[in-house]
């Protein structure tokens, strides 16, 4: 079959869809880059917010319009709304999260019974799987090391959708890392619902090895990724010793720590296991170990019961923290969560106003962080390379709609075959340049000589 895969939501979803793509390729099927060509499409859905629900349904409608013969839905929205999801036109099967790791087997088994569809295994070919959708599938490999969550944040539906925390074994993770490197990936991104809790349930390991730092050390010792990046980490699972990982220069100087609120009263109602004082102390420990570290965060506004005073306290704390960037989420009620029944809901209009105010604060601190690196040299992994149209003037890229670091390229050095390059520094700064070289999936040193703010999504 010709198979198209796509995903909505977090980096863990990205890691899972890449794994699913590899499984279909290994079973002898052909991955295609557009749904119009597909006999079967797999969509990994998300339900973390109401917008994520809407995005999942929108992507489903896109597959329907493309005329895909069979659509398989998986992920958090499809798992929590399995009955509803199965009623959509074109949906052949819903595979809930509990079966997601075996999705390819589950889907192909049913198709064999129904239609005799069966491919020939191709397990020895490490060549890149070109059909996988997504902008970074061969430069940055998202590796799932953990799933599920044991915390009880009152707003979160993901814990319900994904179940209790479960760690993948060291051997499984190492196998995926080696596979990604064999396929040409230059950056490995470790992903999980509760990534920092990796190892706590692996009782066959000695206690000294049941933590994320030990997994990172093993990966760096037994494989050779040019870069290793961490996705979101809950701060209460970290300690000062964890930050010693940055003694290895291959580990990206970026730490994403979801705060959710800078007000202790709000944090308590949210069921978060950390207060602002301990969060600030942990950030200080991290910066002492790695001064150029980019610390980004997630903030939620409009949580039930959030008064003007609580929001002001949260806003003030975020200003004090000087984050390198972050995401602001407007609270949306999620069925099945305790917060959905909390009293004193914040009016929608007030939520939107608070979102704008919080975004402005994060935007300013992100600008200040990036300004620190003007005139410095950083390594960049080039993720995108687009041919420069001949009629375009070979001058510095300057797009006021998106903030970037850029390097000045002399026109004389740019021949007829020139390229727009875009990539990331290890500390999560987006860089755009003009170049006479096609450097896609290469890591090079770049002088950052001009800045426009860009918040990496």
Across 125-277, where does the E strand assignment appear? 140-144, 146-147, 166-167, 187-191, 227-230, 254-256
Check residue 263 and give left, alpha or beta (phi > 0: left; psi -120 to 50: alpha): beta
Average pLDDT over residues 34-49: 94
Percent of residues, the chain, with pLDDT higher than 90: 76
105 SS3 class: helix
Average pLDDT over residues 77-100: 93
Residue in the block written with tokens 């870069």: 227
Q: How far apart are CA 426 and CA 16, in angstroms?
A: 23
Mean pLDDT over the full length of the chain = 88
Average pLDDT over residues 54-76: 95
Assigned token pair, 268: 């308590």
pLDDT band at residue 409, thresholds of 50, 70 and 90?
very low
Average pLDDT over residues 47-70: 93
Instruction: Please report the pLDDT score of residue 410 as a whole number.
Output: 38
pLDDT band at residue 21, thresholds of 50, 70 and 90?
very high
Instruction: Please report the pLDDT score of residue 417 as a whole number.
Output: 74
Give ∠ CA 407-412-415 in degrees, rounded to 5: 95
Instruction: Please report the pLDDT score of residue 69 as a whole number.
Output: 87
- Summarised one tens digit per residue, pLDDT across range 123-149 is 444 444 343 433 344 689 999 999 999
Instruction: Please report the pLDDT score of residue 401 as a whole number.
Output: 33
341 Cβ contact list (under 8 Å, min separation 6): none
- Give the strands of the sheet with 91-95, arranged side by side: 30-31, 2-7, 40-45, 70-75, 91-95
448 Cβ contact list (under 8 Å, min separation 6): 373, 374, 375, 376, 377, 378, 405, 407, 429, 431
Assigned token pair, 227: 């870069």
Query: Higher-confidence residue: 121 or 282?
Result: 282
Q: How far apart are CA 327 and CA 360, in angstroms?
A: 11
Which class for 289: exposed (0-12), middle (13-18), buried (19 or more C-beta within 10 A)? Answer: middle
Phi, psi dihedrals of residue 20, rounded to the nearest 5°: -65, -40
pLDDT band at residue 112, thresholds of 50, 70 and 90?
confident
Residue 312 has pLDDT above 70, yes or no: yes
Do strands 187-191 and 227-230 pair parallel, antiparallel, or not at all (unpaired)? Answer: parallel
Residue 273 has pLDDT above 60, yes or no: yes
- Summarised one tens digit per residue, pLDDT across range 390-408 is 545 444 343 333 345 555 4
Q: How far apart are CA 101 and CA 79, in angstroms?
A: 14
What are the C-alpha distances in Å from 386 to residues 185, 383, 423, 426, 437?
19, 10, 12, 22, 11
- Summarised one tens digit per residue, pLDDT across range 320-357 is 999 999 999 999 999 889 999 999 999 999 999 999 99
Cα dihedral 26, 222, 136, 420 sign: negative
Instruction: Please report the pLDDT score of residue 414 as a whole number.
Output: 56
Q: How far apart are CA 53 and CA 224, in angstroms?
A: 38
What are the C-alpha distances in Å from 265 to residues 237, 262, 309?
21, 9, 10
Superfamily in which the 140-371 domain is placed by CATH: tm_1862 like domain (3.80.30.20)
Percent of residues, the chain, with pLDDT higher than 70: 87
The residues facing 373 across adjacent strands are none
What are the C-alpha distances in Å from 218 to residues 62, 183, 209, 211?
42, 20, 10, 11
* Same topology between domain 2-115 and domain 140-371: no
Instruction: Please report the pLDDT score of residue 132 as a whole number.
Output: 46
Assigned token pair, 360: 């402005």
Tell me if 270 sits within 8 A of 303, measured CB to CB.
yes
5 Cβ contact list (under 8 Å, min separation 6): 17, 20, 21, 24, 31, 41, 42, 43, 44, 132, 133
Q: Tell me the domain boundaries of the chain.
A: 2-115, 140-371, 377-451
Q: How far apart are CA 367 and CA 257, in angstroms?
A: 19
Superfamily in which the 2-115 domain is placed by CATH: Methylthiotransferase, N-terminal domain (3.40.50.12160)
Of the candidates 361, 383, 376, the residue with the CA atom closest to the CA atom of residue 447: 376
This prediction has a pTM of: 0.87
Assigned token pair, 215: 């997994």
Q: How far apart are CA 304 and CA 338, in angstroms?
A: 11
- Summarised one tens digit per residue, pLDDT across range 373-382 is 998 999 999 9
Residue 242 has pLDDT above 90, yes or no: yes
Compute CA 406 distance to the chain's CA centroid, rounded to the nearest angstrom: 24
């Amino acid at each position: 079959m010709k198979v198209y895969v796509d995903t909505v939501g977090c980096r863990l979803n990205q890691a899972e869809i890449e794994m699913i793509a590899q499984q279909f390729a290994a079973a002898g099927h052909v991955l295609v880059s557009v749904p119009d060509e597909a006999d079967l499409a797999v969509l990994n859905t998300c339900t973390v917010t109401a917008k994520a629900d809407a995005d999942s349904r929108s992507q489903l409608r896109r597959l329907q319009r493309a005329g895909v013969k069979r659509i398989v839905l998986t992920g958090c929205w499809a798992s929590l709304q399995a009955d509803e999801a199965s009623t959509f036109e074109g949906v052949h099967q819903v595979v809930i999260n509990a079966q997601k790791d075996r999705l390819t087997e589950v889907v192909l088994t049913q198709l064999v019974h129904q239609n005799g569809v069966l491919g020939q295994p191709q397990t020895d070919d490490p060549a890149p799987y070109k059909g996988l959708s997504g902008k970074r599938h061969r430069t940055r490999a998202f590796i799932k090391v953990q799933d599920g969550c044991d915390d009880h944040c009152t707003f979160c539906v993901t814990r319900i959708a994904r179940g209790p925390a479960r760690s993948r074994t060291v051997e499984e993770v190492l196998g995926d890392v080696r596979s990604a490197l064999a396929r040409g990936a230059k950056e490995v991104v470790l992903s999980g619902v509760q990534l920092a809790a990796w190892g706590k349930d692996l009782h066959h390991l000695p206690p000294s090895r049941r933590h994320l730092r030990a997994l990172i050390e093993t990966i760096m010792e037994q494989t050779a990724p040019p870069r290793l990046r961490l996705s979101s980490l809950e701060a209460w699972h970290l300690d000062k010793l964890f930050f010693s990982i940055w003694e290895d220069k291959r580990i990206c100087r970026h730490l994403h720590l979801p705060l959710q609120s800078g007000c202790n009263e709000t944090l308590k109602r949210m069921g978060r296991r950390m207060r602002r004082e301990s969060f600030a102390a942990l950030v200080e420990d991290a910066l002492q170990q790695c001064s150029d570290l980019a610390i980004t965060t997630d903030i939620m506004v409009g949580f039930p019961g959030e008064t003007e005073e609580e929001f002001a306290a949260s806003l003030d704390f975020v200003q004090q923290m000087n984050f390198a960037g972050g995401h602001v989420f407007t609270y949306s009620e999620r069925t099945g969560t305790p917060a959905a029944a909390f009293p004193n809901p914040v009016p929608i209009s007030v939520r939107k106003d608070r979102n704008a105010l919080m975004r402005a604060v994060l935007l300013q601190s992100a600008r200040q962080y990036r300004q620190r690196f003007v005139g410095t040299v950083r390594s960049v992994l080039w993720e995108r390379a687009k041919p420069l149209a001949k009629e375009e003037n070979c001058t510095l890229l300057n797009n006021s709609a998106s903030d970037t670091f850029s390097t000045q390229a002399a026109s004389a050095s740019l021949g007829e075959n020139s390229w727009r390059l875009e990539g990331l520094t290890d500390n999560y700064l987006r860089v755009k340049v003009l170049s006479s070289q096609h450097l896609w999936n290469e890591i090079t040193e770049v002088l950052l000589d001009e800045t426009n703010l860009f918040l990496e999504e």
